[in-house]
Structure 1
Amino acid sequence: ARAEQDRTLTEHTHKQWQATMGTQRDRVSALVAQLSRSTDSAHEADLARSQAQLKLEQALTQAMEQLGMNAQSLLAEELPEDFDRVETAAELKKAERDLGKLGKVNPLALEEYKALEERYSFLSNQLDDVERARSDLREVIEDVDDTILTLFTEAWRDVEAEFPKVFATLFPGGAGRLVLTDPEDMLTTGIEVEARPPGKKVKRLSLLSGGEKSLTALAMLVAIFRARPSPFYVMDEVEAALDDVNLRRLIALFEELRKDSQLIVITHQKPTMDVANVLYGVTMRGDGVTRVISQRMNSSRLVTRDR
């Protein structure tokens, strides 16, 4: 019976020992698992620290390259109270996108800029020269316009006063005058000739005969001659369309003009030749040689020469 008790006690002790060992094994397993987790956490912490260190170094490098600031300067800068990290990050991304749109950096941009700057400076100087030249030209034009206005106004007054007198000489009993089309603008105004021969009511030149038109034009020329005399005048067959009566009236004006000037008149009219001081005749011989014959009307001597 005692042996049975000892065996039972031994079995009970063995079971307690096994239970204790199981408990210890469970604790060891739990501690091993906890150690493994701690090791993993430490490894992750080291990895995160390394990554953070790398990002910090990259940030410091960018700050130095882009802002020219070191770590001490960055730490000395205080963020504003209304600083919004999310909004600032969004602005940064937008700025980076805009920067990307600009494309790659052109290494020749500085040289191109200098060349364009020189070109711009040259063109600016040229533009200044053109502006000054234009200003000078405007002053010259104004001076010329003033001179033209003065000379034309004076000449107009004199010719306007002479034309009725000359017209009355060529058309006894008639009336003629000169009229400005735009008296308010003497630089651009035109001149109309009103002519009314004796016995006619018309004033428009288009309604006059060919001879009357010729005499009216001659009246205009002679009025200008009288207003602004010249040492000599050259006229080419101006009396070709005139009859004898009107021709005699024109010759009377020639006689008046040659008192102060010389007249060179190309004519086929004998009455005009009769009042000349010197005649020059041009003819061609049978051999094709041109002959010029000159004769002074106050001398019977005839002088000829061949050309």
Structure 2
Amino acid sequence: MFYDNWQDILFFAFEHFTILFYVSVLICMMNLTYKSKKGDESSNHFYWHFTMNGVFDILYIFVNSYMAEYIQINVFFQWINTNDWARKIFMFGLGAFISASFVGNLYIVASRFISMHFPIYYHRIWKRRTVLILLVLQVIVPFGANYHMLFAKSTAKYINETGRYLYQMSDPTISWRNTYILLSFSAISSILGLIFSVINIIKFKSILSNQQNRKEIKKILFYVVYSVILSIGVFTYATLYTLRLYYLVVSNSEARGVVTTYINYSGVVVTFVHPYAVLFMHSIFRQSYLHFLGVKKNNSVNGTTIMAKSFVRSDKVTRSVNIG
């Protein structure tokens, strides 16, 4: 009943390896944040947003594994069917955690947009207090939007086309509500993120024409790729939820179940891309991470400003271009 083909086994192994990998990246990043200079608040903004996103990503992967994968195991399937509150908490987590991750993605892209186009204004308002308020809202808004799931009843349904069990809401109105909520979070985050990314790319082209430092150019290009990856990933999720809404409208429960299965997989992929992208795109942080694991010596790399400099420097480059 569980993982009867090599694709499922491979995905299961990759998923759990990435969870451990993601946790190690977050620990390394929190370690850098702790060691950073107290007076250099703006340099820690990316750390805080990335770390909070990482927490929600891992929580989402955890509940998704239980509700989308482990229920295929007979023993767990019987347990979750008889444990109503556990099922409700898991279902609540599916919506709340991924919604919070979408909000965090938008924070990262929007903060870079503001810093590039309004650098002076950005450094005036994007203080530690602002970051903390945004992080609190990142918890309150998604959790408040999905709180009804703590009281909603769900039932297991076998999807013939996928050969897997899937939990669906007993009350159709709850399914509609969930679809609208997650579609709203993903659509707003992806559309604004893509708009910001396109405008930033145009701005970057102007910066590149005036910047001769290849190291700075690489960092700027890396950021462009990272922002676009985040936005496209969330846009893919929004597209799938649009399909889910369509199948709700036409009352095709079987097709809706198939789309929901793809949503579960896409949600995992969207969250997994973060640690790999950051480690791949930032060679300095990669060196610090390898040093953190004890794999590589820290060759005069100041770990307290690694990620901060790579992102804050783009602001300095922007200001120099604007001033001329």
TM-score range, shorter chain: under 0.3
Which protein has the bigger helix share? 2
Which protein has the bigger strand share? 1
Q: TM-score, normalised by structure 1?
A: 0.19
